[in-house]
Structure 1
Amino acid sequence: MKMRWRKMMGLLLLCVLLVTVAACGSKEAAPSGENSGSNTENSSEGNNAALKDIKVVLDWTPNTNHTGLYAAVDQGFYKAEGLNVEIVQPGTGGADTMVASNEVPFGVSYQESVTQARTQGVPLVSIAAVIQHNTSGFAAPVDRNIKSPKDFEGKTYGGWGSPVEEAVMQSIMEGEGADVSKVKNINMGDADFFTAVKRDIDFAWIFYAWTGIEAELRGEPIDMLYVKDYSEALDYYTPVLVTNEQTIQNDPELVKAFLKATSEGYQYAIEHPEEAADILIKAVPDLDKDLVLASQKWLSPKYQDDAPRWGEQKQEVNPLDTTMEGELEELLEVVRKMHEVLVEAGSPSIISQIKIAHSPSGFSMDTLTEKYR
């Protein structure tokens, strides 16, 4: 189990390092490109060209993680880039499947899902961090008395069936001298947290900006264990915007236009949280207005946080586990193939930001920079 955890975390860090693209933050430095069809209009033509219809699929029901997308629609930022964007909810296969199969060009996902997809050969690429720091963690009603990962022992966890869940749980429990095998796991799927904890689970993995804020409004106090508080390595990007490798290679101008407008949407939400909340409520009137407003006020400062621009994804890596040799070579090959088109499309160079002093496959910062910069 320990080896599996080390491998998973190494891959997680590697994906944050290599398979992410710094997102656009200004008109001068808009990130790079994607594909959704051969009839893409040049974004520079803006309103002078027919609008291109595209879809972006959410990871879950609409919430404040998605406000920037709705703001970009409402404020006309997409139209200014020649795009008519429809925001849709995921089908039974989920957002990752829809993007990976080119059913839609863009989606909302999680870095842990991208990591798992990459190891399985699925061509997902993270192109922007929606939130700069990880606001997710394990939450439990206070009457379960879960104050630390040690308290997970003997409790029932409600998850969604991803191997990343157990890997992260094992990591933070081992740091407390606890045994992950003493946790009972139940797949709760999309079940509501507040309903589930009243039935058969004790704790679950949530985003505080939505479920945590809802707990406050309900007057149902929870104990929240943010995963990033137990390891810097767990302060990864989640959620993220994703696309397909093919889209990047075949239609970089589409990605550039989409990210430029999306960045403006999130910047609007950062600067105008109350107005942005109203936009989300208007677009999705079934949402709880009080929850949306409270969540938006809590989350808006966290979209960009300490990054120089919204969407930025930094590359930071530790020496890599030698058990990852095959996966490393595969991922580096992806980076090599994508590098030229990403830079041409306006994204900061991936290779120039890689800080690997050593890797088990013999690649190094110097050799990569020389050949692909």
Structure 2
Amino acid sequence: MNLEQDVTTTAGEHAGTEEPSTRRTVAQRALRTAGRPEPWRRGPILTVLALLLGLVMVLHAEIPNAGWHLGSLVENLLPWLGLAVLPLLAAALWRRSAAAVVALFLPVTAWLTLFGGVLADKSGPGGDLTVAEQNVDADNPDPDGTARRLAASGADLLALVELTPQSAGAYEKGLVAAYPYHVVRGTVGLWSRLPLGDAQPIDVMDYGPLADTRPADGKAPENRALRTTVATARGPLTVYVAHLGSVRVLPSSGFWTASRDIGVQALGRAVAADGSERTLLLGDLNGSLDDRAFAGLTARMRSAQDTAGAGFGFSYPASFPVVRIDQILVRGVTATSSRVLPDTGSDHLPVAAGITW
């Protein structure tokens, strides 16, 4: 007996008590219900998408970086992949797909494993010094205003990157009252309430394999990193200030990170060879520390935001921050707090941290 005959027979059992129109409605409804897949069979595409999303989070380190650098791109956007759970959940509920709902436990669990601890407030009181960093934007239309806002931050050490010959004077003038000591090398500088010494540039712009990006006039690029020491009451503190090369998404080559990656390696070698007992790295590193490119650096230094912050601490772009590329890393000292400071007029937000011996 086929399905329609079976349903008709079932409906016909009540023929003596129901009107013909009612019997037809019952039969049609039964046919429609019988033709629907069970909840565990509905939404197979949604189920697959949910599982793929979870696997990307769990296995992001296995995504190849050859060619288009998809691995690094995914890792820079990793926290935002959690948002994809919301439309998938809405679609699964609309389709009444039990399989898709259960499959979503994988990306939810993966995201909480990766970032659940980030959401907790790990900051504490106290600290021997407050340090801050900002990319002040080469095209900043009001460097005087940015200098005034930074001077009011209360930081003991203030690292600025993306300085220009035109703007450096404005920062020197605007910060001199709060910071009697400063050093500038190329496009990076450090302002301090404490004496500075032994300042030297660090070469993070080796153009060897990047001949196509060398300035057309043949001039050497502006220096983008420096090392100096701060004389504190607890002994010398070594400070690196760096602005690594930009990254871009290009139609021809995907996520282009070559210049930045060269800088990361050069900076990592400098830090590894540095015998200083206490070291800070302040700068715009043009990448999230989840990016595998920073593995060598983060193996030697700890992120202030990861150890003493609350939330992700996104710093760029200032109008709607979606990624933290401005970093404060420590070695030999402890971060007691980490936070993002208010907008100062740049395209980046400044970041700050308290440190203690």
User: Which one has a larger percent strand, Structure 1 or Structure 2?
Assistant: 2
Q: Higher relative CO (CA 8 A, sep ≥ 6), structure 1 or 2?
A: 1
User: Which one has a larger percent helix, Structure 1 or Structure 2?
Assistant: 1
TM-score normalised over the length of structure 1: 0.22
